[in-house]
Each structure stands twice: as structure tokens, then as C-alpha cells.
Structure 1
Amino acid sequence: MTTQTQAAQAAQTDKDGQPLLSVQDLKIRIQMDNGVMHAVDGVDFAIKRGQTLGLVGESGCGKSLTSRAIIGINPKECETTGKVVYDDESDSNLDLLALDPKGKRIRSIRGRKIAMIFQEPMTAFSPMYTIGNQIMEAIRTHRTKNKKEAKKIALEMLGKVGISDQEKRFDQYPHEFSGGMRQRAMISMALSCNPELLIADEPTTALDVTIQAQVLELMQSLQREFGMAILLVTHDLGIIAEMCDEVAVMYLGKIVEQAPVKELFYNPKHPYTKGLMKSMPRLGGEKSVRLESIEGSVPMPIDMPPMCGFYDRCKDRIEGVCNAKAVPKTYISDQHTVRCFLYADRPEGELS
């Protein structure tokens, strides 16, 4: 076991009582021509050190806006409220949302302690600079000003993510890399400063199955080595099952169900979660059995009345209840919560 790994595990053990990151009542509003869009509406979750939390849901449910709000890189049109409490070494209750998004404090955390893998590496990398130059920029900003040392670290990280002939690749531009190699290069840049939290926004989008498996295995290997936490944003339940310790299911800007991964897969409660599970192809399943689909489409969250956002698509809806008021959070167990009136006879916080 490496010294780096031992240090990471020791830090995790020392701080097991407090989450590394806690998102509290996060709301993101966007003013549109025809009203106010409630893109993210009261999201809560926490991530422990060394844990992988999966944020899953359909496109447009608010996953990416939520993840980007953590490090303050959403567009200026996004009006963000709530708290993102980070357990920083100098302040265990540091609210990242209260910081100036262009200030020195958040810039010292962004990229250094909280890093991000973006959804499309071709647009995340600048086409004007070499891959090596861009990885070195992150290292020289957060770790060392020495060019030779920064280049050595960059070459080591390229090798660690499985890119061969690092010296040659270091001086190449993004368009000279394949999709899988660009994704690996982005992972190397994100991990070059040994972050405590890695936000991975659809890290395997547009990759073929073989490369996807390699990228996921690489992330797990580096997580074990560095002891970092991962927030994995995806719409792929197969990736969630393989990678995550806990899952938060988002729909229309809200987390409608959250549970440990095995609990969610074997005992889903929300009708939307159940629909997602039934739409998954399974190995060994009968060819004659058609996969189920969730009928309808996601409504636009513009000036919506207080009601269940899944009402129009739900087969189990209760007329006069689900469309009459906001849905409370119900505790199925101390680790399993759901927002659904089918379980709302128990007050919030009351365990089954």
C-alpha cells in the first residue's frame, strides 16, 4: 500500500462523522420570457469521504446544473440559493455558494480540492493549446510553479490513465486524440492535483462499450489510490449499479428518491424509479418480452403549481392528492427517502 493511499484512508477514518460535502435546499431559478424556470428545486444530499454518490435522471432534470453549482460555474442567468457546505481543512462549515464565484477562495478550491470531468471533452479542452499545456496549467496553478516539475507530474498522470508514449502525446492538440483518449486526458487533468472530490458529469457519453468499461475501471482504481469521493452524474443505471455506493434519483429538479445502491435496485419505491428499472435491458432476459417505457414527457418546470411533477406520467397517481399540494419527503428507513404520496402517511423523519 502506498503512503499516499494510507494518508487518504487515515483522513477518511478521522472525519467519518462529517460529510465532505453537504448540499442543502439547493434551488436554481432561470428567468425565461414566459415565466420563471425552477430548474433545480430544493435538492439535498451529502457525500462522505471516499464515497461514490450517483445522481441519475433523464436529460433536463437538473443534474448538470446541480453539479456545476457546487463549484460556481453555472451561467450568470442562474439565480442560485441554498447552501453547499464543504468540509475544508481551514473551515469545516465553508459555504461554497457564499463565496465570490470569481474570487481567490473558490478558485483555490475549484480544480485543486474539487475537480470536474466535463460531459464533452472536445469542448472542454481548448483547441488552441496542447493537451500537455492544459494539464500543466492546472498543476502550476495549484501545486507547483516549477515548469519542469509540473511537466513531470503531467507526464506521470498521462501514464497513470493509460495513455502510452506520453512525451509525444503531451505535445499534441485535442483534435489529435480519439474520444476515449480525450476522456482519459481530462481525467488526468482533473486528478493531477489529487482532489478530495471528483465530479464526473456523464464521463462515458459517446464512448463505445469497451472504452466506457476502461474509463470506469480507471476511475475506481484512482479512487482507491487517492481516497477521493466521487459525484457521478449520469442517466445510465448500469453505470450506477457498477460504480456507486448511494444513488439519488432526480426528476424535474427534485430528488424523488435516495438510497444505498442495492436498496434502490432491489426495493425501489417511487413510480419513476420503478419505471427506470423496468426500462433497463437485462442479461438473460427473454427476447420476446418488450422493455417497458415511461409514457409522456417531462413537463417544463415554469411557474408550476405545488404538486407532484410526475403526476401526468404516473400510473399510481391519486386524484385530488398528488395534483393538489407539494410532496413531502418520507423516510422509508434511515438511509432511504422518497417523495411520493403513496408513502406520505408517515411524517418526515419518522422511520418505518
Structure 2
Amino acid sequence: MTTQTAQAACKADDGQPLLSVQDLKIRIQMDNGVMQAVDGVDFEIKKGKTLGLVGESGCGKSLTSRAIIGINPKECETTGVIKYDLASEGSASDPIDLLSLDPKGKRIRSIRGNKIAMIFQEPMTAFSPMYTIGNQMVEMIRIHRTKNKKEAKKIALEMLGKVGISDQEKRFDQYPHEFSGGMRQRAMIAMALSCNPELLIADEPTTALDVTIQAQVLELMQSLQREFGMAILLVTHDLGIIAEMCDEVAVMYLGKIVEQAPVREIFYNPKHPYTKGLLKSMPRLGGEKSVRLDSIEGSVPMPIDMPPMCGFYERCTDRIEGVCNARSVPKTRISDDHSVRCFLYSDQQRGEAQ
């Protein structure tokens, strides 16, 4: 796909989301009850745009992202709808529901790694230690793009060059343990993009990297997004990365999206107490060294057989007794592109609860 073709594809039919997740729920049966790991998640990703999914460890971000391509463990009972637009194939049919497909079937395997690719949090465990980097890249390219070995190797070498890995011929025949952490992440990006995906899922792509390499990887992702016109779902806990990379942000807490809005709206007009707490805990350049950063008191409760109430109730300084702990919080729309799950912004709902 050329740059011009990619840009044209992004501009076409901007109103139709590339991916639409509706009421996604993931339950896991535990020894002491049922864990509601993901509880009614909704979001959309438009073609060529970046959505940031942000929240603390254990809030359900990775399970949500992996559910899209059907690679969660079999213990995860997943329900909901995940619609994917196949318009790029020239299909006039409605978007396909990825959750309705057999996770090991031919249809989802033609989409996974091809239309939708994923960068995993730790490439050392994502790559097989038994095969060379080049062998693993060529295998995927031959599955999705071409059966010709020479052509597949040529594509792999070109992608390694695009992500800034020099001496590609030598690196092609090396094993993952012979790469540094930053180079492994670059190789993972090269592998993910080797089939020109329409959607890239990046699950904590810079967690294990130092600040310099982190900046290089983020710049690389932005550059390749402009070149290929792909959409990105960026899963992270780092609000600094969110500010730099994303068009829209979904803030996740205890399996629910508690606030969603464009990135500037989240940073300059946050509504949910949890979002405000995250922003206040961020260090700022030029800030006084003697000033302590704010922290969110308490800890995240275990989502096992939880009663209908706000999951942030125990940690919230703005909680309303008899309201926030009385029933589940509905979504309130602040504006056309800003929604929040909080009784503070719904007088009608608060009155009904009382």
C-alpha cells in the first residue's frame, strides 16, 4: 500500500468506525467467585486515528485488547459485540462481529495478523526463542501476503529497515536473545506491520524500555501510522504517552470505561474523580521539587461478586453516601464526544437513586 493509497483510505467514509466494541464483558470463574474482569466496555476507533486505553494495572485493558483478536485464555467467558469494518475488501456487507467467529477458525486467522496486528508488552516472550527473527517474520508474511519465500524475505528486510534496524541481512538470521530490548521492540513492530494492517493494537509497547528508546519507538509508530494510514489502539498506564500519541482517550477503572473524550478534553476538562486523580499524580517539568505529587488513596478492589455500586466509591473524595454505593453508575453524556460514569454529573440519576 502506497502512502497516497493509505491516506485516501483514511479519508474515505470517515463516519464509519473501523472497529466498534459494544457491551464487552469478560468473566473468569475463580475459586472464591466470579471475577468480572471487563464489565460493559464500549468504544469506537475510526480509520487512521489513535485511541488510548489508559488505567492502572489489572483494570482489564489487556484483556479488552486481546478479546478483539480472540487470543484470551479459554478461562475467559466473553460476551458482547466487536464489529470490524471490512469495507477495504470491497465488501458491501455489514461489519463482521469478531466475537461470533471461531477463535481458531480460518476467518479470524485471516484477520488476525493481517487486518489487525498486535505489539505485545514483552517481545522477549512474544517471539519464539527457537527461531530466528527473520524466520518468524517470513512465516507470517507467507501466511497473509505471498507464498514466495524470496519475496517474503524481501518484505521482511524492508520492514526491518523501516523500523531503523541496520545491517538487516545479519539481523534477519539472529535469534531474539541476540537483540537488545529496544531492537526486539522494533522487530516486533516490523513484524506487526509487515502485512500493512488497518488496525494496530499496541499493548504497553514501551514499558520495558528506557526513556530515550521509548521516545524513538513512539516516534517510529507515529511515522509508520502516517505512512500506512492505520488506526492504533494504544494500551498504556502512562498519561505522558497518551498526550503525545492519541486523538481520543478512554479511561478504564475496574473493568469499566469511566470517562471517554478527545485527548485535549481529558487533560484540560476532566470530569471523573479518578481521571482527575491520575492527572494530579503526574510529575511536571519545571515543578517545585519540594511539592509532593498527589496520590489516590486506597487500592483497587477485587472485582469478584461485587454489589451494584461505583467501583471507585471507597477511594473517591467526592462520593455521595446512599447514591454512589446504592447501584451501578450509568453513562452520562457531557457533550457529543465526552461521556463519564459518575453521579456528580447526572442530577436526574442521583434523584432517582435517592
Please classify the TM superposition score into its range, dividing by the shorter chain length.
Answer: over 0.9
Q: Distance in 2 between matches of 1:206 and 1:96?
A: 31
The code of the aligned residue for 2:25 comes to K
Deviations 1:311-335 (A, max 9, x none): 0000000000000011010011100
Residue among 321, 324, 330 paired with 2:323? 321
Q: Residue 231 of structure 2 corresponds to which residue in structure 1?
A: 229
* Superposed displacement of residue 346, structure 1: 5.4
Establish whether residue 155 from structure 1 lines up as the match of residue 157 from structure 2: yes
TM-score by length of 2: 0.96
Q: Residue 298 of structure 1 corresponds to which residue in structure 2?
A: 300
3-state SS of 1:69 partner: helix
Q: Distance in 2 between matches of 1:241 and 1:298?
A: 24
3-state SS of 2:282 partner: coil
Identity percentage of aligned residues: 88
- Map 1:45-124 onto structure 2 (within 5 A): 45-89=43-87, 90=91, 91-124=93-126
Q: Residue 352 of structure 2 corresponds to which residue in structure 1?
A: none
Q: Residue 187 of structure 2 corresponds to which residue in structure 1?
A: 185
Are the aligned partners of 1:18 and 1:48 in contact in 2 as well (CA < 8 Å)? yes
Q: Which runs of 5+ in 1 are unaligned?
A: 348-352
Q: Distance in 2 between matches of 1:27 and 1:72?
A: 13
* Superposed displacement of residue 246, structure 1: 0.2
TM-score by length of 1: 0.97
The code of the aligned residue for 2:34 comes to V
* Superposed displacement of residue 81, structure 1: 0.2
* Superposed displacement of residue 185, structure 1: 0.1
* Superposed displacement of residue 286, structure 1: 1.1
Q: Distance in 2 between matches of 1:138 and 1:307?
A: 45
- Map 1:267-346 onto structure 2 (within 5 A): 267-345=269-347
Q: Residue 350 of structure 1 corresponds to which residue in structure 2?
A: none
Are the aligned partners of 1:200 and 1:233 in contact in 2 as well (CA < 8 Å)? yes
Are the aligned partners of 1:39 and 1:252 in contact in 2 as well (CA < 8 Å)? yes
Q: How many residues align?
A: 345
Are the aligned partners of 1:330 and 1:346 in contact in 2 as well (CA < 8 Å)? no
Q: Distance in 1 between matches of 2:162 and 2:7?
A: 20
Are the aligned partners of 1:131 and 1:171 in contact in 2 as well (CA < 8 Å)? yes
4+ long deviations beyond 3 Å: none
Q: Residue 4 of structure 1 corresponds to which residue in structure 2?
A: 2
Q: Distance in 1 between matches of 2:284 and 2:216?
A: 21
Deviations 1:152-186 (A, max 9, x none): 00000000000000000000000000000000000
Deviations 1:6-65 (A, max 9, x none): 111212222211000000000000000010000000000000000000000000000000
* Superposed displacement of residue 303, structure 1: 0.5
3-state SS of 1:92 partner: coil
Establish whether residue 16 from structure 1 lines up as the match of residue 14 from structure 2: yes
Q: Distance in 2 between matches of 1:21 and 1:64?
A: 17
* Superposed displacement of residue 92, structure 1: 3.5
Q: Distance in 1 between matches of 2:156 and 2:95?
A: 32
The code of the aligned residue for 1:253 comes to G
CA RMSD of aligned residues (A): 0.8
The code of the aligned residue for 1:182 comes to R
The code of the aligned residue for 1:15 comes to D
Q: Distance in 1 between matches of 2:7 and 2:347?
A: 41
Q: Residue 31 of structure 1 corresponds to which residue in structure 2?
A: 29
Q: Residue 247 of structure 1 corresponds to which residue in structure 2?
A: 249
Q: Which runs of 5+ in 2 are unaligned?
A: 350-354
3-state SS of 1:308 partner: coil
Q: Distance in 1 between matches of 2:253 and 2:225?
A: 28
